[in-house]
Structure 1
Amino acid sequence: MRRAGTRPDSTDRAWWWDAVCYRVDVRSFADADGDGVGDLDGLRGRLGYLELLGVDAVVLAGAAGTDPASEAVSALLDEARDVGMRVMLAADVDPARTDPSAVLAPWLERGVDGFHLAPREDPAGAIRAAADDAALIGTGSGEWDLEFNLDLAVAGFDAAPIREAITKVLAAGTRPAWAMASTDTERSRDEAALTPVRAMALVQLALPGAACLRHGEELGLPGTQRIPMPWEGAEPPFGFSAAEGDWSSIPADWASFTVETQLEDPDSTLSLYRHALETRGTHPSFSGDGVEWFGAPEGCFAFRRVGRGVTCALNTSAEAVPLPPGEVVLSSRPLDDGRLPPGTAAWLV
């Protein structure tokens, strides 16, 4: 397993340049004290899973009211450093009413590596000044290191608008942070619904820039926001908490989505993410800061990272299509006699 923040071809770049940032809604990730609510100690107990997944940074959401000088914060930061993982804080800083230093400085003193900011304007650079050299992921006018976007998420599963979204974001000039966080409200998801999810994961992770995942996204969970993470077992709350109570907010059929179940299945969505993140972080073809497009059939596209990098092909049409030249290193679904099936993406080198 690679150390977080390192790449084979860009050791002179900032750690966040192509980082995979994993946003954790702390209250719904893991409950260590048995009160039914997730906490930092619960997250700390699951850092081994995040290391296994292959993320570079964990982003703490829902922790802004936590005392940064607390023992729980210190223990989390220490253990994250031990495994080479960065820690960022999701924060809402409005420079028009609040001094950014009052929010950011206590966390910077504890050693956090950066902040994922709620959408705000910072035309005068007050947030940048308060953050010093910490990494900033932001949206809107400001001096951000990474520009957060949901353009892939809103483009739908159609090759033409997805290509338009990619082209627009890359043309903006700021290093992008791509997100595909689910906003649907369905309580269950079958294999047909997972097909575009898996394909778009490979599109997102092939692009130049950082990637922002939300916890549970790697399991293929629908509507993951504030839903307790399913870890193990056959019944809710699936290892999230030892507390007794009403866990009806967690669908009972999520037994097939648990981390435990998917880790044992080489064809699961979690296994796909693990393979993709390992390949993305270690294979030298994941370099180049732009993309070049190939000709492709209607409903399809293929782009290559500049400099003979990885090629990503996507088929959103109803028919299998030929693959671009290269050796397939990963596909979101099995290939069809060497052709790219409908609803499938593949990486080639």
Structure 2
Amino acid sequence: MTESWWRDAVIYQIYPRSFADANGDGIGDLPGIRARLPYLRDLGVDAVWLSPFYLSPQADAGYDVADYRTVDPIFGSVGDARGLVADAHDLGLRVIVDLVPNHSSDQHIWFQQALAEGPGSPLRERYHFRDGRGDQPPNDWPSIFGGPAWTRVPDGQWYLHLFAPEQPDFNWDHPAVADEFRTILRFWLDLGVDGFRIDVAHGLVKEAGLPSLGRVAEWHLLDVGESPCFDRDGVHDIYRSWRTILDEYPGERIAVAEAWAPTLARVADYVRPDELHQAFNFSYLATPWEPTAQREMIDASIGAMAAVGAPATWTLSNHDVVRHTNRLLQADAGDVAGRRPTEVDPVAGLRRARAATLLLLALPGSAYLYQGEELGLPEVTDLPPEVRQDPAFHRATGQDGYRDGCRVPLPWSGTTAPYGFGPDSGPSWLPQPASWASLSVEAQDGVPGSTLSMYREALALRRKTLTGAATLTWQPGPTGILSFTRGDGFACTVNMTGAPVAIDPPGTLLLASGPVEGGVLPPDTTAWWSVS
């Protein structure tokens, strides 16, 4: 395992409840993931990132943690986690796990004790308990999921929750909170994990005094902007402390920030040499499919991260946003989550998504893939209300709650649901569309031109051709064409127009997201070239 592996790694996000089900209860689990690890090795990724699998009431799909040191029985056991990590390492894969430090579950023992002991209890200081303004909350902050960010308890005090009421925010000014998370880090590092993805990394520290906004606001999960409860300078002291722990362990254990900030320069603060290693590039994810916008964001991202010695990261989809097979074709592609995802032409959507993927994988830095995108899965836009589980779905304000559409379980094999997701014919926790039979792993495996085959070829070529080639040089090209070279022998051209464009091929074709013949690049097509 090489040093600084993370600087150009391809990391595959697994949403555990939707990846693979080993026991047939319709919910994915750790044994299911463990059995499918060879698939990920053969895909060609370097590491996997697991969304939360800790003990949880599942009010927000595991992002409400009741015990950070054990595994929820629906997913397995700590022994299963240990075995998964060991098997992944044997296959040459690293494992990153989600860490949720901004808030706990309301069922966490600390919070339950704080409720029981009442006002004035020292245990309440581990969270943000406050007296109200008469019958009103302590301030005017809204919850990301809609409604106020405060809930009143029977003794009259209120507690802060920037997300669901079942997710009370920790008070990171309290030393016990910092001590607790340092021990949590060590617990999982001792078990063998290779790093952490830090949920809401920008939210841990709140402005002193919790001042009101003075205005009516509705916040979206990935689009808050300047506020007194996000991206406060105090978070960086926390991450410096964590970095000293990570550096004690061999093999370059890493931490990745889910950090939204007003500017890329502010995001780069999270990955200074003594802090975290990577930060998700949500600004790129939200960039429209247009040459000038893409080029400007690519340059800005590389430059901002280079200023602090960190690699850029690139991603197009995750468990919180509309899959890019739909989002890139929606009218407002710059809406990060596609707040109300719409049905799009599936052929055109997949064509653009494939082109965007090859562009992303050609860029210098680290790439994050979301499970199922290698199959070309579309967003599921027609889930009935009664099956949706996003906690924001039924709220009147805030995030619309349409995240379930990107979380539908994967199709592995067969022609009817659940498509090999579990060992029997029982339904999965979210229903899978009938159209997914043709998108299963089995249906695409070994089929030339399939999306799965394209991903495998692209990842193999990336590892062989682009690893270590940090520079990117833009090249001139026809209107609507994005063209650049990497290193000494690689070129990438992207047609972002709706029509075929004649180009001067820069070399021998290595791979393309669509058919390229006679020097003509079809619409929404990316081509990779070997340049002699």
TM-score using structure 1 length: 0.90
> Is the CA contact (8 Å cut-off) linking 2:411 and 2:418 kept in structure 1?
yes
Give the 3-state SS of the residue equivalent to 1:213 in structure 2: strand
**Correspondence for 1:149 among 249, 271, 281:** 281
Match of 2:241 in 1: 126
Match of 1:175 in 2: 311
Match of 1:218 in 2: 374
> Is the CA contact (8 Å cut-off) linking 2:418 and 2:427 kept in structure 1?
no
**Correspondence for 1:312 among 474, 492, 495:** 492
Match of 1:67 in 2: 70
CA 1:222–1:96 in structure 2 vs 1: closer, same or farther (change >3 Å)? farther
Query: Higher mean Cα deviation, 185-194 or 132-141?
Result: 185-194
In 2, Cα distance between equivalents of 1:189 and 1:85: 36
Match of 1:230 in 2: 411
In 1, Cα distance between equivalents of 2:87 and 2:343: 34
Match of 1:79 in 2: 87
Question: What count of residue pairs does the alignment treat as equivalent?
Answer: 337
**Correspondence for 1:92 among 68, 89, 100:** 100
Question: What letter matches 1:232 in structure 2?
Answer: S
In 1, Cα distance between equivalents of 2:185 and 2:348: 43
In 2, Cα distance between equivalents of 1:205 and 1:93: 30
In 1, Cα distance between equivalents of 2:199 and 2:504: 40
Match of 1:25 in 2: 15
Q: CA deviation at 1:126?
A: 2.8
Match of 2:354 in 1: 198
Question: What letter matches 1:201 in structure 2?
Answer: T
**Correspondence for 1:35 among 21, 25, 30:** 25
> Is the CA contact (8 Å cut-off) linking 1:203 and 1:314 kept in structure 2?
yes
Give the 3-state SS of the residue equivalent to 1:67 in structure 2: strand
Match of 2:293 in 1: 161
Q: CA deviation at 1:186?
A: 5.2
In 2, Cα distance between equivalents of 1:146 and 1:246: 34
Question: What letter matches 1:294 in structure 2?
Answer: Q
Spell out, residue by residue over 1:74-133, the C-alpha distance to the aligned partner (whole angstroms, 9 max, x if none).
211111111111011022224853323133221101010111122324311233234335
Spell out, residue by residue over 1:112-164, the C-alpha distance to the aligned partner (whole angstroms, 9 max, x if none).
01111223243112332343351111134422212211333311221111111
In 2, Cα distance between equivalents of 1:61 and 1:195: 28
Indicate whether 1:339 and 2:520 are aligned.
yes
Question: What letter matches 2:360 in structure 1?
Answer: Q
Question: What letter matches 1:275 in structure 2?
Answer: E
Long gaps (5+) in structure 2: 56-68, 72-76, 103-169, 203-234, 260-266, 328-340, 380-404
CA 1:190–1:251 in structure 2 vs 1: closer, same or farther (change >3 Å)? same
TM-score using structure 2 length: 0.60
In 2, Cα distance between equivalents of 1:229 and 1:75: 22
> Is the CA contact (8 Å cut-off) linking 2:418 and 2:428 kept in structure 1?
no
> Is the CA contact (8 Å cut-off) linking 1:26 and 1:38 kept in structure 2?
yes
> Is the CA contact (8 Å cut-off) linking 1:286 and 1:309 kept in structure 2?
no
Q: CA deviation at 1:336?
A: 3.1
Match of 2:448 in 1: 266
Question: What letter matches 1:288 in structure 2?
Answer: A
Match of 2:165 in 1: none
Q: CA deviation at 1:290?
A: 2.3
- Greater Cα radius of gyration, structure 1 or 2: 2
Give the 3-state SS of the residue equivalent to 1:238 in structure 2: coil
Question: What letter matches 2:366 in structure 1?
Answer: A
In 2, Cα distance between equivalents of 1:326 and 1:89: 41
Q: CA RMSD for the aligned pairs?
A: 2.2
In 2, Cα distance between equivalents of 1:235 and 1:189: 23
Question: What letter matches 1:167 in structure 2?
Answer: D
Question: What letter matches 1:208 in structure 2?
Answer: P
Match of 1:137 in 2: 256
Match of 1:328 in 2: 509
State the structure with bigger RCO (CA 8 A, min sep 6), 1 or 2: 1
Long gaps (5+) in structure 1: 6-10
Match of 2:365 in 1: 209
Q: CA deviation at 1:270?
A: 0.8
Give the 3-state SS of the residue equivalent to 2:438 in structure 1: helix
Match of 2:150 in 1: none
> Is the CA contact (8 Å cut-off) linking 2:97 and 2:193 kept in structure 1?
yes
Question: What letter matches 1:46 in structure 2?
Answer: R
Q: CA deviation at 1:187?
A: 6.9
In 1, Cα distance between equivalents of 2:345 and 2:419: 17
In 2, Cα distance between equivalents of 1:243 and 1:39: 17
